[in-house]
Amino acid sequence: MSNVFYSGREEKEVDIYQTVGDVDPPPRRGTLHDVGGTRKSLLCMGALVLLLLAGVAMVTTYSVFVTLEKNWFQKENEDLNFRFNQLQDSLTAGRQCPAGWSGLGCSCYLKVNKSLSWSEARKRCRERGADLVVVHSQQEQNLVWQLSGTGWSWIGLRNKHRYNNTWTWVDGSATTQTFWTAEEPQVFPLTHAACCDDQGLWRKTFFSTELSAICEMQSSGVVKSDV
């Protein structure tokens, strides 16, 4: 009987150990190697975040700098334009044009409403202390176009050469800016320029053609204003 008791006890002990062996072991705590790898990963991620933040900060700073620089140049340009207009106004105010003349900058302009050849037109301008107009800018051209109206008027541009297309102004200056029609100027000797067509452009014609004239003079002195 005792043998059976002990035998049953041994069987129970074997079953207990087998049951315990089937249970999964508890998870192991991280080793020192695992902890070190995690720290390195975190450091790398932190460094990348810092680099990204630094890049964003640089781009933002550059954009702000460009905007400020653009605003500064724009303000400087506006200040220069304002000072230029003030200077031009002061010059115009100090140098008045005679009655009937139109002023622009330091010059005065007048249309002679008589049909004259180019030579006669220049003579009439000179009698008034002026000469046929010399055009060197778009602003001046616009004024000449306005004064000329719907008809054609002589200006101070001529070609004195017989075999080339060299045009010069009555004051001896070269043509720095021209406003010819699309087909002009064709090579034709001893011709002179007139203004303006319906688009404010020039064409050439013979000096004997009778047209009105645009005179120009410096805005000083007193001249005859009868036309």
Domain ranges of the chain: 44-94, 102-218
Q: What is the dihedral of CA 31, 32, 38, 42, to 10 degrees?
A: 150
Per residue in 130-145, pLDDT (tens digit) is 999 999 999 999 999 9
Work out whether the CA dihedral 27, 31, 33, 34 comes out positive or negative: positive
Per residue in 58-101, pLDDT (tens digit) is 888 887 877 887 777 777 777 777 777 666 665 555 558 899 99
Residue 171 in this model has a pLDDT that exceeds 50: yes
Q: Give the CATH number of domain 102-218; options: 3.40.220.10, 1.10.540.10, 3.10.100.10, 3.40.980.10.
A: 3.10.100.10
